Chain A
Amino acid sequence: MMIEKSTLWFVIIALGIGSFALRFVFTGLVGDREMPAWLLRHLRYTAVAILPALVAPQVLWPAATNGQTDPARLAAAVVALAVGVITKNVLLAIVSGAATLYALLWLLG
């Protein structure tokens, strides 16, 4: 399915402005004023919450297999996460996950 061109450009520009705003908000505008502790405490966990929430359904119900759980993709996900946790090396985790995926897709035909 194609992404609509008008939507795409809107997303690129809005995301560019939004990302710049996030990066500029303190250095440029807020200065040295303190932020409330409860807010900082929640902000600390945004990335570590949003990414797993995004990825979990894709791992269990991949679009490529029409939502059927796929042993090769599931194993690749487990390996990528495990290697990442053990080594803290993002690239090594990606390579291990991809290697697992291709090995199993080939073995399981």
Chain B
Amino acid sequence: MAITTTKSAFRKGLADAAPFVLVIIPFSSLFGILATEAGLSVFETLAFSVVVIAGAAQFTALQLMQEHAPTAIVLASALAVNLRMAMYSASLTPYIGAAPLWQRALAAYLTVDQSYVCSMAQYEKEPDMTIPQRMAYFFGCVTPIVPLWYLFTLIGALLGAQIPESWALDFALPITFLAMIAPMFRTSAHVVAALVASVAGLLTAGVPYSLGLILAGLAGMVAGAQTEVWMTRRAERVTL
């Protein structure tokens, strides 16, 4: 169905993003549970989700704070995990860069994996949308997602305090990270980046101030980028 008004754009965004609710509810609940397990109060846990709204970065910060890593390392690592938001911002710019500043600022706060994926697909499919329609679609996408992110963080936090230690929740974070990594393996360069970073992470585990994580991350990034260059060159040679 083609979008003809800003209202129908909003409704379409809402409908397109609705399936993501199934991802948001368990993830935000898990964050709420693990944050309160780590000793955060219900209010602190909810504030974390409202201020940051970025699952992977929140989990990363939580893990490193529990390990008492230096604050600079906590921030650098969590922001590194969030660097993809800058990529999202870059690719949304041609479509919504002409919207009023307050709308762009609000959209920036609400840029999450799901709103980005939905919006980009829609903008590419219907390039004739007006700027107000694009913004309405974007805000439609976040409407089923962000309020539930807050709500289920709160519910998880309220439940978290009642979960006994025998549930081995210490390992919920590593399992969650591993599950999130797998769909990122889009090319062999991504796999190489992950493998090099893992090995480097093990080798540098003894480096003080958790700096090993930054070193291992950089090693993985360079390995991925170099693999990409190498693969592109090889592909060009094959076609010649």
On A, residues with C-beta under 8 Å from B are 1-3, 5, 7-16, 18-20, 22-28, 30-32, 35, 38, 40-64, 73, 76-77, 80-81, 83-85, 88-91, 93-94, 97-98, 101-102, 105
Q: Which residue of B lies closest to A10 (CB)?
A: B71
Cα–Cα distance between A105 and B183 once the two chains are bound (Å):
27
Cβ–Cβ contact B176 & A12, under 8 A: no
Enumerate B78-135 residues with CB–CB distance to A below 8 Å. 78-90, 92-94, 96-97, 101, 104-105, 107-109, 111
Per CB-CB distance, the 3 closest pairs between chain A and chain B, nearest first, are: A84-B182, A49-B220, A45-B224
Minimum CB–CB distance for B63 against chain A, Å: 7
Interface string of B37-66 (1 = CB under 8 A from A): 011100010011001111011101101111
Known: A19-B79, A47-B83, A94-B176. A28 touches B108 (CB 8 A): yes
Determine the residue in chain A with the shortest Cβ distance to B229: A41
In contact, A44 and B225 (Cβ under 8 angstroms): yes
Least Cβ–Cβ distance between A43 and chain B, in angstroms:
6
Partner pick for B56 among A23, A41, A47, A53, CB 8 A cutoff: A47
- A97 B51 Cβ-Cβ under 8 A: no
Say if the beta carbon of B184 comes within 8 Å of chain A.
yes
Could you tell me which B residues sit within 8 Å of A by CB distance?
22-23, 26, 38-40, 44, 47-48, 51-54, 56-58, 60-61, 63-68, 71, 74-75, 77-90, 92-94, 96-97, 101, 104-105, 107-109, 111, 168, 170-185, 189-190, 193-202, 205, 212-213, 216-225, 228-229
DSSP class of A's interface residues: helix, strand, loop or mixed?
helix
The answer on a CB contact under 8 Å between B82 and A90 is: no
Query: In the complex the two chains form, is B63's CB within 8 Å of A45's CB?
Result: no
Q: How many A-B residue pairs have CB under 8 A?
A: 279
Give the distance in Å from the alpha carbon of A48 to the alpha carbon of B216 in the complex.
Answer: 11
Which of B68, B104, B182 contacts A85, CB < 8 Å?
A: B182
**B107 — which chain A residues lie within 8 A by C-beta?**
27
Is the beta-carbon distance between A46 and B168 smaller than 8 angstroms? Answer: no
For B40, B74, B189, B217, which residue has the most chain A Cβ atoms within 10 angstroms? B217
Which of A7, A16, A31 interacts with B52 by CB under 8 Å?
A16
Set of chain B residues within 8 Å of A101, measured between Cβ atoms: 168, 171, 175
Measured CB to CB, the closest approach of chain A to B67, in angstroms, equals 8
Closest to B226 in A: A41
Q: Which residues of A contact B190 (CB under 8 A)?
A: 45, 48
- Asked if A45 and B189 sit within 8 Å, CB to CB, the answer is yes
Which of A48, A54, A61 makes the CB contact (< 8 A) with B60? A54
